[in-house]
Amino acid sequence: MSFNHTDEQGKASMVDISAKPASRRVAIATGHIKLQPSTLELIRENQIQKGDVIAVARVAGIMAAKQTRHLIPLCHQIPLTMVGVDFALKNDGVTVTATAKTTASTGVEMEALTAVTTALLTIYDMCKAVDKSMRLEGIHLVSKTK
């Protein structure tokens, strides 16, 4: 059994979705970044030198979802109708949840996962000067519907 999708010449290609009908699709992804308590306090008090960590990470996640086709080879370009990125400050870090929606012939799970990952990486980048023990964890797809 082959796991590669290839065209007639044996080269990698996008999956042909032209025969699939467009339908409303939603994907939700989540992930967590472990932080020191002192880092969480700096985020809560908006005292990170680079600025408002949550606001910047939210915009970064949304922007990344919109660019998924440029980041992931063979990923389809789809018209996003909504991308939301939410944050929950926990005792041990920040949990990010992204929701992506479209009406298309293929799903939006890659966009939701890209939003979560980029938001987490943005938090990492903005906090790296004050926290050397940060760790990204548990990035995964929570659900997808069509």
106-115 pLDDT, tens per residue? Answer: 889 999 999 9
Tokens of 16: 């042909």
Residues acting as catalytic residues:
125
Domains defined along the chain, listed by start: 23-145 (3.30.70.640)
Q: Is 1 exposed, middle or buried (0-12, 13-18, 19+ CB in 10 A)?
A: exposed
- pLDDT per residue as tens, the chain (146 positions): 344 455 566 677 788 887 888 889 999 999 999 999 999 999 999 999 999 999 999 999 999 999 999 999 999 999 999 999 999 999 999 999 999 999 998 889 999 999 999 999 999 999 999 999 999 999 999 999 98
Say if pTM beats, i.e. exceeds, 0.85: yes
So what's the pLDDT on residue 3?
A: 45
